Amino acid sequence: MSAPAGSARPIGVGLVSLGWMGRLHSKAYLAVPATYPELGVRPVLMHAADTAPDRAEYAQDVLGYRTASADYRAVLADPGVDVVSICAPNALHREIALAAAEAGKPFWIEKPVGRDAAQTAEIAEAAGKAELVTSVGYNYRNAPAVAHIRELVAAGELGRVTGVRCLFLNGQAADPRVALSWRFQREHAGSGVLADLLCHVADLVAYAAGPSTGPIAEVSAASAIVHARRPLAEMGAGTVFSMAEGDDVALGEVDNEDHAAALVRFASGAIGTLEVSRVAVGPQSQLLLEVSGTGGSASWDFERMNELRVARLGDAGYTTVLAHGGLGDYARFQPGPGIAMGYDDLKVIEAARFLRAVLERDTAGSAHCTVADAHAAAEVVQAAVDSAASGSWVRVKEVAAR
């Protein structure tokens, strides 16, 4: 499927849902040719679907999609659509992903792939049977600093990994006036911050530390609902940051967790601590990863995305390293250290890896995140959910290696 020399192969893009992620996927596709010219691809925004008329209009008038519909099925049925981005709310992921698999359309889906581990496993199985290329929105693994930590671990430069600490503290719902969107309702989202943020943590830990630790084998977790009632909001309206004003707003019940923490044991015997919150006061998007070994340690924080800290046995402490052309895909975006990459750039990397896999028919995901990876992360989340409910250690269900 590689393009002839001197030409770029057009790939028709379909999109389901025009929220923040849908718009970001669209921009990422369009940035691929200039950022990864050697791929020889030219994404063409063909068909977008959203049930909100204003968003459908935005898809055509602003983003440049050739067609817009109210029904995702029209996107999947469009012969001009070669790949599909699924950015709809969690409760719709299973239905849309299974339909995409049946239609034979490679898909890039946002996390969590399913509302729970069972749904994620079902989607992974369907994609596997259809021999489809898939990609999942675990974009933090694409940060150049994270790529470097993974390399340090894989090369044994940190020694035997003995401990991993990872937390994702988010302040987007710290104010109790933040509206009761679908994210706070188990019917629509499944679990709360565990499904929304622990899945990122589980994937990041597996990606960065996994070469030494193997998978997470056991989990002991606790969780809490911090803000039990929130202002009601119209489904599909606003964003995750929308807040209600005034004192006479009707309130509804939050029925999934805001904050959770877990102690974990890896297959290698290493131990770790994981923590997630959507109601933290102070941190806004603090995704902190620390990997400690017998020969050294490495630490990275998304709020300081373009630097990491590394220490070797015998050093007097950490050394701060700025992201530079030798780390991951940094040189694709910036010419030298000290010039910051951003969140959106991580999505461009994700889009490029997805499209490369489509061109190479790489269903196994040798260089990108797939729904099989998402299934492994979902089983960690499920074990945390079950442990928080029972108060006991829970074994993580093993997922067959790819």
Phi, psi of 143 (to 5 degrees): -60, 135
- What is the rounded distance in angstroms from the CA atom of residue 314 to the CA atom of residue 329? 30
Output the CA torsion 144→147→148→149 (10° steps).
Answer: 120
34: left (phi over 0), alpha (psi -120 to 50) or beta: alpha
- What is the rounded distance in angstroms from the CA atom of residue 3 to the CA atom of residue 6? 8
Longest dimension (CA), the chain: 64
User: Is 76 within 8 Å of 14 (Cβ atoms)?
Assistant: yes
User: Is 387 within 8 Å of 262 (Cβ atoms)?
Assistant: yes
- What is the rounded distance in angstroms from the CA atom of residue 324 to the CA atom of residue 119? 39
Query: Helix/strand/coil (H, E, C) string of 227-263?
Result: CCEEEECCCCCCCCCCECCCCCCCEEECCCCCEEEEE
The predicted model scores a pTM of 0.93
- What is the rounded distance in angstroms from the CA atom of residue 226 to the CA atom of residue 214? 33
pLDDT tens column, 274-321: 999 999 999 999 999 999 999 999 999 999 999 999 999 999 999 999
DSSP notation for 372-402? HHHHHHHHHHHHHHHHHHHSS-EEPPP----
- Read off the tokens for 275: 């923590």
Q: Which residues pair with 259 in a beta bridge?
A: 224, 277
pLDDT tens column, 37-84: 999 999 999 999 999 999 999 999 999 999 999 999 999 999 999 999
User: Residue 4: its pLDDT value, please?
Assistant: 44
CA angle 323/356/202 to nearest 5° reads: 60
Distances from the Cα of 402 to the Cα of 72, 83, 133, angstroms: 30, 22, 13
User: Residue 177: its pLDDT value, please?
Assistant: 92
* Residue 111 DSSP SS3: coil
Q: Which residues pair with 134 in a beta bridge?
A: 107
* Residue 161 DSSP SS3: strand
> How confident is the prediction along the chain (402 residues), in pLDDT tens digits per residue?
334 445 899 999 999 999 999 999 999 999 999 999 999 999 999 999 999 999 999 999 999 999 999 999 999 999 999 999 999 988 899 999 999 999 999 999 999 999 999 999 999 999 999 999 999 999 999 999 999 999 999 999 999 999 999 999 999 999 999 999 888 988 888 899 999 999 999 999 999 999 999 999 999 999 999 999 999 876 555 456 677 766 678 999 999 999 999 999 999 999 999 999 999 999 999 999 999 999 999 999 999 999 999 999 999 999 999 999 999 999 999 999 999 999 999 999 999 999 999 999 988 887 899 999 999 999 999 999 999 999 999 999 999 755
Q: Is 367 exposed, middle or buried (0-12, 13-18, 19+ CB in 10 A)?
A: exposed
User: Residue 3: its pLDDT value, please?
Assistant: 44
Phi, psi of 254 (to 5 degrees): -85, 125
User: Residue 401: its pLDDT value, please?
Assistant: 59
User: Residue 1: its pLDDT value, please?
Assistant: 38
* Residue 368 DSSP SS3: coil
User: Is 261 within 8 Å of 282 (Cβ atoms)?
Assistant: no
Q: Which among 354, 351, 381, 348 has a CA at the least distance from the CA of 367?
A: 354
In the chain, what are the domains? 9-139 (3.40.50.720), 142-337+371-395 (3.30.360.10)
